[in-house]
Structure formats: C-alpha cells, structure tokens
Amino acid sequence: MCTVRDLVKTYPATRARRGAPAAPAVRANDGISLDIRHGEIFGLLGPNGAGKSTLVRQLTGLMRPDAGAIDLLGHDLVRHPGRAARLIGYLGQESTALDELTVSLAAETTGRLRGLDARTARAERDGVLDELGLADIAGRPLKKLSGGQRRLACFAAALVGPRPVLVLDEPTTGMDPVARRAVWAAVDRRRKRDGTTVVLVTHNVIEAETVLDRVAVLERGRVIACDTPAGLKKLVAHEVRLELLWREGPPLHVPEVAALSESAQCSGRRWVLRLDPDLARSAVAALTGGPAFEALDDFTLTTPSLEDVYLALGGRTQGLVKA
C-alpha cells in the first residue's frame, strides 16, 4: 500500500541573524524504511523531535526528501508530490488555515476543494458533523472555539471527501475523552466500511496501545522498532514496571532508594523502573515497610507498556507521555 525506503531529510544549518542564534543542520529523518499495509492503523510513535512530522510532511507531498523513495498506491510521491493530495486526507499538527470559517463551512469547503459537487459536499458535511457531535456548534467560527473543539472540527473537515489514506498528526491533542472516543469510532468506521488506511502520529503510549494495529517507534530520525503493540511488548514481557512518585525529593540517604536510583528513569518527582518481578516485589516491600514510605506520594506496579519497550530499546524518557 505504502512503501518508504531509506528516506533522508536534513534541515540546513542557519547563520546567526538579527539576534537569532545560529542553528546547526538537523538530520530529521536518517534512513527511514517502512511498509504500511492496506486497511491498517499504522502508528508513528516517538518523543518530541524524533522526526515524525518531518516524515509525515514528506508522505503527504508537502516536503521533498533529500534522498529515498515513497510509493503510495503505485504512485511515486518523490517524483510527483502533487498526487498525494488526491490520495490522502491530512490533518496536520497546526491547522489555522480554517480559523476564519465556521465549522460547517470548513467541512463543506474541504469537500469542494477535494472535487465534490455542492450537493455531495453538503451531504457529507452534515453526515460528518452529526457523526462527531458537532452539529450544535456548526455555525460558530473555528477561531472562537476551544482548542479541543477546534481540533475536532479540523478532524471533521479532514474526513469530508473520500480518500483511501488518512494521515493524522496527533489528532486528539487537547480533546476530552468524549471527543477522543468520537475520533477513534470515526476512524474505525472508515476502516471497516471503506478499507481506509490510517497513518497516525502520536506520542501517547496509551492511545498507541489501544488503537494501533502496528507501530513504528522513531528515535532521532531512525526507526528503532516496528511491530504490533503486543509484539513489541513481548520484548519486555519478563519485566514489570514500578513507578514511584515522591512527595518532594527522593530520600537518597535510604540505602534501598539509593540502590534503585541507579536503574531509575527520573523525570521530576517521578521514577520509572523496569524490574524482574521478584526484585520489584522486594523493592515494594522495602519501600513501603521502611523509612522511605514517608517520602512516597504514590506507587504503581504494572505490566510493561510501550513506553517500557521504548526505554528498553534505548530511547530517552522525555516526550513519550502516558495519557
């Protein structure tokens, strides 16, 4: 359905200018290869700056790679980037282009721009706004909506006018749980009904585990793993995850805490440890039965998540979020 081979993209260095410091060149995609199958929900998971949006911009024909190949449904998108618009419904990270329009007009206009006649565009608009629970705010301009409502309205617009592929860059950012559910139900409906293939960018591991068929984990412009969420989790099946939340600082003078600190991934007051189940049990017993207990705000012992896979593969903690 879509093959990506050895994709390379480097943003050039910039010179210092008018108070702005010089910036070195950034190799945002460093030899990415992927095979996305027909009808699957394929995820790109990685921390901030991993190169996900850069990859998506090339997939959608908005940016030309320095090297490599992209074939989408038999079309060479490096040579013919303009064809991507006919094949892909794209929801980018920033979508201010529709801000001046009402929700209704944003959806209808997108349909017209995608070649629908006026009557079909209006019918599809009404269907999508009903489906996503947006009918009540259909007459309001996007710029006057909350962040989550605006995001949902942009998602609605991206669905008007059928496309075999949807590329969604963090579609549920800022949305409440009801809106999130509406988004995933709409995606699933299109996959079942139309065989739509979905490429989804996320750094939300919980979302990734629940909605994705397969996921490529990106780190510093490279794919460090690609499999089903369950397949990836097998990599860390022999471990459990111990999460500690300290009230203030961890009491490093307590020997058990000092020993754990060596293998903990720390972000602020939160420590994450991946441990052998027996070790985890004895660590919990020592922490809850000893002097460290006073300093603990909360702790959880769970089976590993995709975040643990990412850490086991050598990823850094920052940027992958839990929920």
**Residues binding ligand ATP (CB under 6 A):** 11, 26, 28, 46, 48-54, 203
Give the residue carrying structure tokens 């189940």.
277
Length of the chain: 323
Q: How far is the CB of 61 from ligand ATP (least distance, A)?
A: 16
Q: How far is the CB of 138 from ligand ATP (least distance, A)?
A: 30
Alpha-carbon distance of 228 to 121, in angstroms, equals 36
* 3-state helix vs strand vs coil in the chain, percent to 5: 40, 30, 35
Which is closer to ligand ATP, CB of 50 or CB of 254? 50
Query: Residues near 155 by Cβ (< 8 Å), separated by ≥ 6?
Result: 91, 132, 168, 171, 183, 186
Q: How far is the CB of 148 from ligand ATP (least distance, A)?
A: 18
Query: What type of residue is 39?
Result: G
Angle ∠(179,1,191) on CA atoms, nearest 5? 30
Q: How far is the CB of 133 from ligand ATP (least distance, A)?
A: 27
Which is closer to ligand ATP, CB of 168 or CB of 283? 168
Q: How far is the CB of 296 from ligand ATP (least distance, A)?
A: 31
Which is closer to ligand ATP, CB of 28 or CB of 226? 28
Task: Tell me the HSE value of 162 on the side-chain side, using a 13 A CA sphere.
Answer: 10
Residue spans of alpha helices (H) in the chain: 52-59, 84-87, 103-113, 118-131, 147-159, 177-194, 205-211, 229-234, 255-261, 277-289, 306-312
Q: How far is the CB of 201 from ligand ATP (least distance, A)?
A: 7
Alpha-carbon distance of 71 to 103, in angstroms, equals 34
Which is closer to ligand ATP, CB of 156 or CB of 217? 217
What is the biggest distance separating any 2 CA atoms in the chain, rounded to whole angstroms?
72
Alpha-carbon distance of 246 to 69, in angstroms, equals 48
Which is closer to ligand ATP, CB of 70 or CB of 257? 70
Q: How far is the CB of 291 from ligand ATP (least distance, A)?
A: 40
Which is closer to ligand ATP, CB of 62 or CB of 266? 62
Which is closer to ligand ATP, CB of 45 or CB of 138? 45
